[in-house]
Structure formats: structure tokens, C-alpha cells
């Protein structure tokens, strides 16, 4: 079995966990262990893994939610590889394994004692230019660009070509069910059970009183047109591109979800309370 490790940079605990797991996997479990090519200056290891290029049987992510998101953006069309996640970041909502348990959990995985939870992702394209952003597991945000981010922007929002509303405000969040607990929740959206097949649309500080959060089927196509202002497209917290007046983004369900390894059932509500 080929297993790779990806870790958060400049994190001493992540480096320590990675060294332990690389040695344990090869010596105790007989695995073929690889290290993310971008981490070779952090940990010394002879075999490297290039995300999105090399094929492995599993990836262990050591860090927080941001580390997981960055990996998913690199392997955007990989629908099969299971991901084991180790809690070693500031935000660990998606992460599963405590650092002190990682060797035992890796053995559990190798011996088949685990569950797979699949999380939907959202494809986003800037139409006209054909620019495709990485699929979002958490959320897609449109907000003011650069020094203009504190100015009001105007957006027209459509669901399957039917106009939902025109909004003036700080922007909009389009979230997956599990992403409903992040920025969308802070902006006034609902908490959505991650098992539901839906997408959440939440205006950010709108001027219009009728611009309320909306929950739509995940099978719907969402389109957002920029009517006024320079707009930043942000996917899972990472700036992707600039969207100009007259341009649109289209959001649809991705064909590739994210497959995360669990050792007990994931609960949105339990995670919120911790």
C-alpha cells in the first residue's frame, strides 16, 4: 500500500508526527511511505509525492482544515483517494485523529477498521473566460476586491436561470452543507445537517431586507452576476481570481467529492459544540 503524508508548514508538532508516522508505516506496517514534495525542507525522507500527479492509496493530512483544503485544491479531480486527517492546526472541524493516536489509527486503517464519509464539493467557473476554480468543500465567497473590499458591491443571483434576488452589500457566501457551519453561519445562515443534499446561499450584510439566506437543492445551478464593483472570488478561504462588472460565476455540484476516513460517525452538531 502506497501512503503519502502532507503536513502544515512551519509547525513543529506536524513535523514530529510526520516523522513518527513515516517510520512506523514502513517499519511496523510494511507500507510504502511517501512525503509531500513541498515538505522536503521540513522533514528528511527519500520518497516524494506530488499531489495531483502521483497516485497513492491514501493520504495522511497533518495540520488543520486549511491544510486539508489546500490539498483538496491540488487533487481537484481525484475522486477516489481516502484522506486520513490528523488534528494539528488552529481549526480542526474536519480533522479526525488526535496526534497521540495516529499510529494506532493508521493500523486500524490498514486492517480495515474504519468508515468513509464522502463530502460533496462545488465546482465554480467564471463564465466567458472559462476560468475554473478548485472545487469547494466548504464555501465560495464573493466580496469586494483589494482596497475596495469595504465598499458595497451589487450582485444578481439566479437559481437555474430564475432570478432569486439582486443584492447590495458586502457580498455573498455559497456553502456546502458542512460549510454551512463556517462563514455562512457567521453571516446569518442556518446550520445544515451535512447529510442533506443542498447548497446554502447567504448574503453578507445586505442592504435589502428581503435578501435572506436560501437553501437550494445541490442539483441546482447557481449563477451570480457582478452588477457593480470589483469582486474577489474566494474558495475555501483562498483568493482565486478577480471578477469584473458584467462577468458571472456559475456554481454546480462537482462530480468529485472528498472521501475522508472516519473511525466513528461524523456529527455536525457534536463538532459545533467542541
Quick one: pLDDT at residue 148?
60
- Bind-site residues: 65-66, 70, 138-139, 151, 170, 178, 181-186, 205, 238
Q: Which CATH class is domain 2-119+257-272?
A: alpha beta
DSSP state string for 55-66: --SEEEEEE-HH
Neighbouring residues of 74: CB distance < 8 A, sequence distance ≥ 6: 51, 52, 134
Where exactly are the structural domains of the chain? Answer: 2-119+257-272, 122-253
Q: Nearest CA to 17 among 1, 3, 27, 6? A: 6
CA distances from 13 to 71, 84, 89, 94, 96 (A): 19, 17, 9, 18, 16
0.85 cut: is pTM over it? yes
DSSP type of residue 98: -
CATH architecture of 122-253: Sandwich (2.60)
Cα–Cα distances in angstroms (integers) from residue 139 to residues 7, 120, 136, 272, in the given order? 22, 11, 6, 17
Q: Residue 261's pLDDT is what?
A: 97
Contact 171, 231 (CB under 8 A): yes
Q: Which residues are annotated as a binding site for NAD(+)?
A: 65-66, 70, 138-139, 151, 170, 178, 181-186, 205, 238
Q: What is the mean pLDDT of each run of 10 residues along the chain (274 residues)?
A: 95 96 96 94 92 94 96 90 95 94 97 96 92 93 82 95 96 97 96 94 95 97 96 95 95 95 82 68
Please classify residue 162 by burial: count the beta carbons closer than 10 Å to its beta carbon, then call 0-12 exposed, 13-18 middle and 19+ buried: exposed
**Taking the CB of residue 129, how many other CB atoms lie within 10 A of it?**
11
Euclidean distance between CA atoms 93 and 107, whole angstroms:
23
Q: What's the pLDDT at 274?
A: 63
The H or E element spanning position 15 is: helix 12-27
Catalytic residues: 65
DSSP E strands: which ranges in the chain? 2-7, 32-36, 48-49, 58-63, 83-87, 115-119, 122-126, 131-136, 139-144, 153-159, 162-169, 171-175, 198-204, 214-217, 222-228, 231-235, 238-243, 248-253, 258-262
What residues pair up with 139 in beta bridges, in sequence order?
175
Helix (H) or strand (E) holding 104: helix 102-110
Amino acid at each position: 500500500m502506497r501512503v503519502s503524508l502532507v503536513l502544515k508548514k512551519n509547525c513543529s508538532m506536524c513535523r514530529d508526527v510526520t516523522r513518527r508516522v513515516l517510520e512506523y508505516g514502513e517499519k511496523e506496517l510494511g507500507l510504502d511511505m511517501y512525503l509531500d514534495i513541498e515538505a522536503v525542507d521540513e522533514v528528511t525522507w527519500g520518497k516524494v509525492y506530488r499531489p495531483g500527479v502521483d497516485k497513492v492509496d491514501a493520504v495522511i493530512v497533518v495540520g488543520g482544515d486549511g491544510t486539508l483544503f489546500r490539498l483538496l485544491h491540488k487533487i481537484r479531480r481525484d475522486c477516489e483517494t481516502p484522506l486520513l486527517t490528523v488534528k494539528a492546526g488552529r481549526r480542526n472541524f474536519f480533522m479526525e485523529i488526535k496526534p497521540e493516536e495516529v499510529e494506532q489509527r493508521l493500523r486500524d486503517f490498514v486492517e480495515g477498521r474504519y468508515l468513509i464519509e464522502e463530502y460533496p464539493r462545488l465546482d465554480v467557473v467564471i463564465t466567458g473566460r472559462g476560468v475554473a476554480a478548485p472545487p469547494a468543500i466548504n464555501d465560495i465567497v464573493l466580496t469586494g476586491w483589494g482596497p475596495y473590499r469595504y465598499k458595497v458591491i451589487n450582485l444578481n443571483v439566479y437559481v437555474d436561470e430564475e432570478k432569486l434576488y439582486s443584492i447590495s452589500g458586502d457580498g455573498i457566501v455559497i456553502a456546502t452543507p458542512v460549510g454551512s457551519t463556517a462563514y455562512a453561519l457567521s453571516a446569518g445562515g442556518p446550520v445544515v445537517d451535512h447529510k442533506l443534499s443542498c447548497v446554502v446561499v447567504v448574503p453578507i450584510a445586505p442592504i435589502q431586507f428581503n435578501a435572506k439566506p436560501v437553501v437550494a437543492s445541490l442539483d441546482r445551478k447557481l449563477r451570480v452576476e457582478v452588477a457593480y464593483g470589483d469582486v474577489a472570488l474566494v474558495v475555501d478561504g483562498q483568493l482565486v481570481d478577480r471578477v469584473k462588472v458584467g462577468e458571472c460565476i456559475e456554481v454546480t455540484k462537482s462530480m468529485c467529492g472528498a472521501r475522508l476516513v472516519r473511525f466513528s460517525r461524523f456529527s455536525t452538531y457534536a463538532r459545533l459544540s467542541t
